[in-house]
Amino acid sequence: MNNSAEAKQVERFDVVDLIHAKRDKGVLSTDQINWLVDAYTRGYVGDEQMAAMTMAIFINGMEREEIRDLTLAMIASGETLSFEGLGKPTTDKHSTGGVGDKITLPLAPLVASFGVAVPQLSGRGLGHTGGTLDKLESIPGWRADLTNEEFYAQLRGVGGVICAAGSGLAPADKKLYALRDITGTVEAIPLIASSIMSKKIAEGTSALVLDVKFGSGAFMKDADRSRELAETMVRLGKDAGVKTVALLTNMNVPLGLAIGNANEVRESVEVLAGGGPADVRELTIALAREMLAQVGHEDADVEAALDNGQAMDAWRGMISAQGGDPDAALPQPKESHVVTADRDGVLVEQEALPFGIAAWRLGAGRARKQDPVQHAAGIDLHAKPGDTVRKGEPLFTMHADEPARFERALESLEGAYRIGDEGDTVHDGGPLIAGRID
């Protein structure tokens, strides 16, 4: 026997047995799930084997205990953060994403202005949903990547941080997410819930508010499926000791009037100045109240903080702390194309998803993670469902750096909006906030 030879690790389970069990609607034990996640992270379980497992989960689902074990195993695959030394409570928010969803931008400084730490680790956009970091990088000088020392110092000082997550948080989820994206299993609720919550729990916040969207421009189109996802994530949070609540919100029409990057920053600043579109202000206030109530600030006057400059001061401090100039001019498009109403009437339909795709085609989004975005590209809406319009008046304006992009953007908008007569049914999907789960 060669004592210098490195002993080969004896694996506790056979991945094929686990695939068979889940394929046949079996329940995996805690030990089996822990081993599976660890073995996949270190490369013993191959992508083709994990693809078979995720498809079995997609088809047959998972029990509550299995989803909890999967989430905890993904957390254990990497580092976790702790905010115990900050001297202030922490609260965070996560949105499942949508068209025109810039809520994090006004929300984080609004909540931070009440002396609460908001460690908002955000991502970039892919496809028709925009990324918070892409929007903020429209601001000259602003940077998404912070050292741990800068991150904690900003939380202690300004109180709010919006930045990129480090590679050490839930690395198993990063690997699994990339696999799900190419195997048709992204929509599996156990996998979505464990993916989102593993990162949020590893982040170390003591309270979390989830904005779970449904409708045309949402990740989950069906309201019942969105509710199921929200309930699953709230249970996961509470099982992990994180105060968690979810709002179900309507994404059948774009949120606000701006879809893009720089124009969404502009609209967020309008909200922080006490103005902005009514729906963006409404959702910002509702989420802020939930976040603050979770950490004992039930009586915080969030509307006043928007109107009196308190939230704006926090925004300016956050942007400056990350190298940005809050007074700098935002990027402007090189080309614009206005679409006007072809008749008098009422705008009765404005479907979110096609407008998100159009903004993406204009350059506001990316098809691959490594693609750059054009910060000035996007769409400004001039009317929302229910508004009266007149023939020849602007319905929306498209912005791009290359005029050749307008044709493909317009193709995606065929049938996406409709002008009707006074009294016709307005298709907006109902109230902006459709429910609350705690």
Spot the catalytic one: 173, 211, 279, 428.
Answer: 173
Q: How confident is the model at residue 180 (pLDDT cuts 50, 70, 90)?
A: confident
**pLDDT by residue (tens digit) across 114-163?**
999 999 988 776 666 778 999 999 999 999 999 989 999 999 999 999 99
Q: What pLDDT does residue 178 have? A: 82
Cβ(344)–Cβ(391) below 8 Å: yes
Verify whether residue 195 is a known catalytic residue: yes
pLDDT at 35 over 80: yes
Q: Within 10 A of 294 (CB to CB), how many other CB atoms are there?
A: 24
List 180, 281, 361, 375, catalytic entry: 180
Mean pLDDT computed over 93-104: 94
Question: 113, 195, 216, 226: which one is catalytic?
Answer: 195
Q: Where are the domain boundaries for CATH 3.40.1030.10 in the chain?
A: 84-328
CATH top-level class of 84-328 = alpha beta
pLDDT at residue number 126:
61
Mark whether 382 is an active-site residue. no
The CA-CA-CA angle for residues 313, 318, 324, to 5°, reads 110
Q: Is 174 a catalytic residue?
A: no
pLDDT band, residue 165 (cuts 50/70/90):
confident
User: Considering Cα of 256, then 258, then 259, then 263, what sign does the dihedral take?
Assistant: negative
Q: Convert the pLDDT of each residue in 41-66 to its tens digit.
A: 999 999 999 999 999 999 999 999 99
285 vs 282: CA distance, rounded Å: 5
pLDDT-derived band of residue 4, with 50, 70 and 90 as boundaries? very low
Active site residue 20: no
Q: What is the pLDDT of residue 84?
A: 85
Average confidence (pLDDT) over 190-206: 92
**Angle at alpha carbon of residue 297, lines to 293 and 303, rounded to 5°:** 90
> What are the tens digits of pLDDT across the range 311-361?
999 999 999 999 999 999 999 999 999 999 999 999 999 999 999 999 999
The reply to whether 8 belongs to the active site is no
Average pLDDT, the chain: 93
Residue 1 pLDDT level (bands cut at 50, 70, 90): very low
What does the block give as tokens for 271?
């909200």
**Using one digit for the tens of pLDDT, what is the confidence trace for 232-291?**
999 999 999 999 999 999 999 999 999 999 999 999 999 999 999 999 999 999 999 999
The dihedral formed by the CA atoms of 106, 108, 109 and 114, expressed in degrees to the nearest 10: 130
Q: What is the pLDDT, as a whole number, of residue 326?
A: 97
Burial of 380 (0-12, 13-18, 19+ CB in 10 A): buried
Q: Which of 102, 128, 135, 199 is catalytic?
A: 199
pTM given for the model: 0.92
CATH 3.30.565.10 fits 335-420, yes or no: no
Overall average pLDDT of the 394-416 stretch: 97
Residue ranges of the chain that CATH labels 3.90.1170.30: 335-420
Write out the two tokens for 188.
């599996």
Percentage with pLDDT > 90 across the chain: 84
The whole-number pLDDT of residue 342 equals 96
Q: Of the ranges 7-11, 233-237, 427-431, which one carries the lowest mean pLDDT score? A: 7-11
Q: How many C-beta atoms surround the C-beta of residue 90 within 10 A? A: 23
Contact 253, 384 (CB under 8 A): yes
Q: What are phi and psi of 399, to 5 degrees?
A: -125, 140
Beta carbons of 50 and 176 less than 8 angstroms apart:
yes
Q: Residue 369: which pLDDT band, with cuts at 50, 70 and 90?
A: low
pLDDT at 127: 63
The single residue of 68, 94, 200, 227 carrying the catalytic annotation is: 94
Residue 99 to residue 355: CA distance in whole angstroms: 7
pLDDT value of position 8: 61
Residue type, 273: A
| pLDDT at 5 > cutoff 50 | no
Residue at 390: amino acid letter: R
Query: Between 371 and 7, where is the model more confident?
Result: 371
